[in-house]
Structure 1
Amino acid sequence: MTPPRFLADDMLARLARWLRGAGIDAAYAGRGEEDDAILRAARAGGRVVLTRDLRFPGGPRERLVVESTDLDEQLVEVFRRYPGFDPLERPFSRCMECNGEVRAEEDPGDRPPGTDGPFTRCADCGRLFWEGTHVERIRARLARASRRAREELEEEARGEPPPIGRSEYDSFLKEILPLLGLSWRAYRRVRLGQRTRLRRRMREAGFRTLDAYAARLRSDPAERHALRAALNVTVSRFFRDRGLWLRLPEILFPELVRLAAAGPVRAWSLGCASGEEPFTLRMVWLDSPSRATPLDLLASDISEACLRRAARAVYPESAVHNAPESYLARRFSRDGAEWRLVRDIADSVRFETFDWGSEAWPGPFHLVLARNGIFTYPDEAGRRRAIGKVRGALVPGGYLWIGGNETLPLSDVKWEVAAPGLFRAAQPRASKDA
């Protein structure tokens, strides 16, 4: 089914731009236009209004109400409405800037130096386009949304739990997250992947409704653990916070070597997702003057699916777009639309399943990487517990690296700031002899 021609209101300008990338005619009404004026323009142009406003005027055939505020979810919502539509059949056939038709151009005289074809040009605004790494990222995002839309429709056809609406999802999480030791504040932004995983977990546990599943969770600790693992946030990428990664050989690695004395440096990536973080650490270490000292690298995650992906070590374009070109050239190879990590790096990290709620933590380590995980998603009590556990997993004077938007919870442990997000556990002062 082919999507109609759309006219997006002020709330969905970004969605319209991405739909153009999928070859869909998606015009933008402009900032501040009144609803009645948008509806008149849509009727005159034979378009369907794209809006998030449930009270938008007009009949149901004249508007498509998109529920989510998240772009990926919005794309899925649109693609679900038009089964069989393939966003990669005619991608970039419309200008993502102005919605004009894009046409091939053989050898444009205004091509920037050093650029290669094929070239296309917008017939309306005259903008010249050529393929770059951003094109692969756009294709990958559209492909993911299309795949998820197709999977949801197939699940519905099999009689599996229906998609969960945003308000239902929010109400469910507000009640259940405290039982899991997780923070609603961290999960308040609806994520498509989490809703999909919640539906999958409900199916595995034999439930079709949120109310029935919530009743099970209130009485079953094992199911609470299973859901916490299912809701685990696994978004990561190579060289996240790239600037600090590239400074580590100067500001951190020599200190780790000093702490290790004659032995290997021991590091732990806690909440490693699909391995992007520990593999980045290994690559940067091998390129540093500290590489003569062995690096014993443990990586763990609660999700066994994530660890299987880490073992495969094949990644989409979105996971590597922060990586410097020199690392892509030396440490990866192209595998279709994906990137395959070289085997010697992939085999150099030890992966284990680990739940941060466990009583027994491994250690001691000279460095713990706990970024964008245990200091974001647990509730306040869980974060305070985590900081004590991390300190216990470090050698005296060991280092902790957290996410750029995270802060350490209040605790009795003293920390010295080594760099933004990088902390050194203060060593206790030696007592003077009486």
Structure 2
Amino acid sequence: MHETSSRPVALRGRILHCLRDPGDGGDAGALEGFDDGLLLIEHGRVARLGPAAELLPGLPAHIEVHDHRGRLIVPGFVDTHIHFPQIDVIASYGEQLLEWLERYVFPAERRFEDLAHGQAMAPLFLDQLLRNGTTTALALCTVHPQSVDALLAAAQQRGMRLIAGKVLMDRHCPEFLRDDPERAYRESKALIERWHGVDRLAYAITPRFAPTSTEAQLEAAGRLAREHPDVYVQTHVAENRKEVAWVASLFPWARSYLDVYDHYGLLRERAIYAHCVWLDAVDRARLAASGAAAAFCPTSNLFLGSGLYDLAAMDAAGACSSLATDVGAGTSYSMLRTLAEAYKVLQLQGQRLTPARALYLATLAGARALGLAGRVGNFEPGREADAVVLDSAGTALTARRAAVVRDHDVLEEWFALFTLGDDRNVAATYLQGAAAWERGSA
């Protein structure tokens, strides 16, 4: 079991974080930054934040200062939708959603019936997150309970904040991945009792998507949600037009795809719906009213040709949008690469993603979507001290771009980093003030 160090440490560098959503107008007061800042961490939490010149003279001599001057320190990234078992199918060629699942995903997920396979894959998966600066994630596992055990045990060892769940799937899938409503209920309940609220871990009730669950299984998922109101819910909705049409044929009584989940009590706070590409205005309003949140998955939506996420419409409805890599349909574990594609998706619709809003989407928006804004997402005192150190010197191109940033503008540097950068620009990732990954260490 990971134990938070009680030894105080400090991180020094160029620090930037969001206090609230800056909106697309670039609310300057939503950001707080220090050109030469100091983040003091005690018992794994932020104790103080401010200019290094003011805080350093008062620091006791025994406090270790990690000197990252010349680098940008931001809160650890929050990925609100990713598939643990799809590490081996990322970059699989040439299909849209439903065909892609049949051809690539289901065979890969079958291998997780073997606990040893899951235990071998979990460290690889978590190392990819950490090397890319992701410190909190919401992950789907497979239909096998042991896949959840493998992932959460590995996350616990690292001290990561991770939420995961066993996929529920009892129809329209291979027999080797099919469960049934009562077994799925029992296995999910046992996993909740074993993992939810342990250290930095939590559980998510996880119907894969409406077409692969019978109404009996969706009823069982709703029963779990009622019995465990503090547990998460995660699934997919309105990703692909063919999928939306399929849902309409399977649930003819429902007003919409989202309405299916609402009918079974799965639309609520701490429920994250991936994609939300083909929602209408009524759906967006209902999503917002329920307290559920959307996961914007730009790289997977582009890769599978699913469509373009309408951030402006979601904002207008008052719905919470967060950012997600959606590996393995998503094409990178890097939230920097994901932001670069989000920017382009919005440009195609005449919308904009300001540098400030991009930082918010990758950090505090995800924390809010997960109901964790009081714990992670920024550097306000009392927050868990998860941080990523970004280095423009990571590649020759980003180094050159940073060298010509006007007036040392931190938002211009940040914009160039997420437009051009990747894991090579991550110098270090910290979990509760302890270095969990450092460039050159692996």
* Highest RCO, 1 vs 2 (Cα 8 Å, sep ≥ 6): 2
Structure with higher strand content: 2
Structure with max Cα Rg: 1
Q: Same fold per TM (> 0.5)?
A: no
Give the TM-score normalised by structure 1: 0.24
